[in-house]
Structure 1
Amino acid sequence: MTDEHRSHPRDFVASLEKGLKVLLCFERKHSKLNLSEVARLTDTTPATARRLLMTLQELDYLHSDGKRFWVAPRTLLLARPYLMSRPAPQLAQPVLDKLADRTRQSASLGLLLDHEVLIIARSTGRRTLSTGLGIGSRLPAFCSALGRAVLSTLPLEEIVRYLSATPLDAYTPKTVRDLASATEQVQHCRTYGWAECNEELELGVRSIAVPITSVAGKTIAAVSLSVRAERMSMDAFRQMHLAAIQEARDALRATINFD
């Protein structure tokens, strides 16, 4: 974030921003990182990265073996204030549990966050997926069903601008990577009311998502369901479970004020 986009740049603590970037660069594919990797992922100098890492280790937010660093259990405290004080995750859980139990699949609720979708609630059905997703997981918006659904009610120019600024990385050989196709997938949701991801994030996993809109018609979140590809085709998936996802969407929209 640049100074021109900050409301009060004089009150902005850049070192805090850098420290949070360090914590956020740890994820499933980057579970343990060395100093140079952290510097590259956070776009800081090695000297700055070292000071940040050592400070976070001293505060017990990171552990280290002397070469690599990984997050410590204390980092869970950073998510607790949101989970405990905001109503959305708590109110959404029974709805997602009902959807997962009814379909025997995994259900998720996500919000748009920069160029990703942040999962704020999730329920795993009896047929557990191997994706390792949970509350706090992030998915690329351009090729996930959740992301496409959340983007779907934006004006076309805004969609193109958003996707143009997004790295279209390949997660599987089936990932859509060109701007025209990525835009078309979002447009599909605008036309039909649902978005899909057919093995683009993980081979063997299919997802369908529907947007959750406010009274003013703005997409504020999305709810999705995921299945193993060997269990059913995308057509069968839609026929069997789309109505249930839409019912969950209606229940979430009626009970939750997303803020």
Structure 2
Amino acid sequence: MVLIKLLLRIAQNSQNFFDQHQCALSLMNSLFVAPAVPEKDLIAGLTKGLRLIEAFDDMHTRLTSSEAASRVGISPAAARRCLLTLCQNGYAQTDGKRYWLDHGILRLSYAYSVSTRLPRLLQSTLDALSERTRESASVVVLHGAQVMVAARSTARKSLTVGLGVGSRLPLHCSATGRILLSSLPTAEFEAVFSAMHLNKLTPHTLTDPIRLRKLLKTCIVNGYALSNQEIELGVRSIAVPLYNMGGLVVGALSLSSRADRMTSGEMIEQLLPAMRRCQSWVRTRLS
């Protein structure tokens, strides 16, 4: 706990809100990295390249080498070499000043989707669930201090949330984040909860830590979690944990709907039974 409080103080000393948020995420992610590997066994250039890929998002679609360097904390010269390498290999493009990701980057997500069992196993099931319910279905996994979409199927085009494979969501206000957070062992849960930055994304976002703790306890009891217009106005979501044969939580399944189509109570009544069936199906097939 002392370490976590120290990390948070460091994050809070950043100059602006964006820096605080990015710093807090980086520090929280450090709590979840794999066991330490000797530095001599690591390739620093590869790490820089991967971080540069992650520097691009919907708010930063085109970056100069200096802007990219600033976002990931490396020198402009190193950023330029990495970006040119990405261009050379078909992962990025440049006009000589700015850089942007190219279609080739999709090869990375494709490699994940066809080589990792969870999305491979669930994609057809997701498609069927989405078609049957006429709502957007997702499989999400815990990724550091956030959750990440591992598979997605959308039967309706009515949702404005631009989620796709690789999209990240906050733990505290997404249905999938809440169900995965509540499923963590006590020590891990306390570490993550204490380090979370409870950003208010809409007027409905729950940011009071005491109320959030109580809500997460109900998620454990009920076996599902809800998010009621807390990430985006007009969108509600419901999520259940996904277990393997050994009873370990390996991800979460969610359905999202427009708020004017379905109340939270109707989601529980109409969508949860189908989600439970998918949950049981996965558990019998995932070792």
Name 1:31's counterpart in structure 2. Answer: 61
Q: Write out per-residue CA displacement over residues 75-101 of structure 1, whole angstroms, 9 at most, x where no aligned residue.
A: 111222222223322220121122112
| Distance apart, 1:5 and its partner CA | 4.4
Amino acid across the alignment from 1:195: A
Closer/same/farther in 2, CA of residues 175 and 39 from structure 1, 3 Å limit: farther
Aligned position for 1:120? 150
1:150 to 172, 175, 180: 180
Structure 2: which amino acid aligns with 1:18? K
Q: For residues 8 and 75 of structure 1, what CA distance do their matches in structure 2 show?
A: 29
Aligned twin of 1:60: 90
Q: Matched residue of 1:50: which SS?
A: helix
For 1:20 and 1:74, how far apart are their aligned partners in 2?
A: 14
2:210 corresponds, among 174, 180, 195, to 180
* Residue equivalent to 1:51: 81
Give the distance between the partners of 2:97 and 2:197, measured in 1 at CA: 30
User: Could you give the per-residue CA deviations for residues 118-171 of structure 1, whole angstroms, max 9, x where no partner exists?
Assistant: 212111123542212122222222221111112222233421211222333333
* Partner of residue 124, structure 2: 94
Cα 1:28–1:256 shift into 2, 3 Å? farther
> Any unmatched runs of 5+ in structure 2?
1-29
What is the DSSP-based 3-state SS (H/G/I as helix, E as strand, rest coil) of the residue aligned with 2:240? strand
Q: 1:72 aligns with which of 76, 79, 102?
A: 102
Q: CA deviation at 1:4?
A: 10
The question of whether the paired residues in 1 share the 8 Å contact of 2:242 and 2:279 is answered with yes
Count of paired positions? 257
Match of 1:211 among 241, 262, 267: 241
1:69 alignment partner AA: Y
Structural RMSD (CA):
2.4
**Residues 1:155 and 1:85: Cα distance change in structure 2 (over 3 Å):** closer
Structure 1 residue matching 2:49: 3-state secondary structure: helix
Structure 1 position 31, deviation (Å): 2.6
TM-score (norm 1): 0.88
Identity %: 40
Query: Residues 74 and 244 from structure 1, CA distance in 2 versus in 1: closer, same or farther, beyond 3 angstroms?
Result: same
Instruction: Verify: 1:106 aligned to 2:136, yes or no.
Output: yes
Q: Residue deviations 1:218-255, cap 9 Å, x none? A: 21111000000111221222122111111111112222
Three-state SS of the structure 2 residue aligned to 1:28 is coil
CA distance in 2, matches of 1:35, 1:146: 35
Contact 2:179 2:252 in 1 (8 A): yes
State the Cα distance separating 1:104 from its structure 2 match: 0.8
